[in-house]
Amino acid sequence: MRFDPPLEQGRLLRRYKRFLADIETATGELLTIHCPNTGSMFNCMQVGGIVWFSRNNDPKRKLRGTWELSETPQGRLACVNTGRANGLVERALNQGLISELTGFDRLKREVAYGQENSRIDFRLDYAAGPAFVEVKSVTLGFADSAVAAFPDAVTLRGAKHLRELTTLAGQGVRAVQLYCVNLSGIEAVRAATKIDPAYAAALRTAVAAGVEVLAYGVELSPVGLHINRRLEVQL
């Protein structure tokens, strides 16, 4: 996936009210842009750090830019726009890049399912039956470690999705949790137990019930993004 138009560079002044960020562009322009990330963004941003943003000239939009990439305190590159993960995974699925999920006949997005009024990111229909695939974007990294973690803040919604997948697996339906790792320099993924012990426990329960857990890494640059490798999952 290429960024079109190309991203612009700036420096982060502050992030506030979850969805707002003030930046100074490379030309000295001061902008307030949209931050499309509901998490804490712990360890994937720093005041004064380099950011890249897409500019929007739609007069109907109040904010003229969207924060896309960030230089982390560890010197990595992170895609902080969590909305990109599903598009990256869909492209990879259609291109056959996720080897565990090839050969499906039809892909459906945002399908209602479950006992808790959920929507699955992707339902893949195979001759032998469907596979339900939940996608999470991972950006939490640590100094001197090539292992990323999820989540970066307590996520009740994430735990709910794991419960739904656990129920499906118990019914004999193929259920998959896929971590899209939008962070450079990473070789493995684990649950962030200290940040959200309830999520980590739900993940262990899901695995025990037969939920498949996959992780794929993304090659990131200000030019574009694409999924390019399978990563280890540390359970």
Helices (H) and strands (E) in the chain, counts: 3, 15
CA distance 115 to 217: 31
Residue 80 token pair: 């902080």
Three-state secondary structure call for residue 108: strand
Model confidence at 226: pLDDT above 80: yes
- Give the pairing type, strands 174-181 and 118-126: unpaired
Model confidence at 185: pLDDT above 90: yes
Query: What pLDDT shows up at residue 62?
Result: 86
Three-state secondary structure call for residue 127: coil
**Residues 6 or more apart whose Cβ sits within 8 Å of residue 16:** 22
pLDDT tens digits, one per residue of 53-85? 999 877 778 898 999 999 999 999 999 999 999
Residue 207: band (very low, low, confident or very high) from pLDDT cuts 50, 70, 90:
very high
**Residues 6 or more apart whose Cβ sits within 8 Å of residue 117:** none
pLDDT tens digits, one per residue of 114-167? 999 999 999 999 999 999 999 999 999 999 999 999 999 999 999 999 999 999
CA distance 76 to 178: 22
CA distance 77 to 137: 14
List, by residue range, all CATH 3.40.1350.60 domains of the chain.
Answer: 84-234
Residue type, 5: P
CA 197, 21, 141, 208 dihedral sign is positive
pTM of model > 0.85: yes
List, by residue range, all CATH 2.40.50.580 domains of the chain.
Answer: 8-79
CATH number of 8-79: 2.40.50.580
Three-state secondary structure call for residue 17: coil
* Nearest alpha carbon to residue 148 among 183, 99, 113, 123: 183
Residue 110: band (very low, low, confident or very high) from pLDDT cuts 50, 70, 90:
very high
pLDDT tens digits, one per residue of 8-26? 999 999 999 999 999 999 9
Query: What pLDDT shows up at residue 214?
Result: 98
At the top level of CATH, which class does the domain 84-234 belong to?
alpha beta
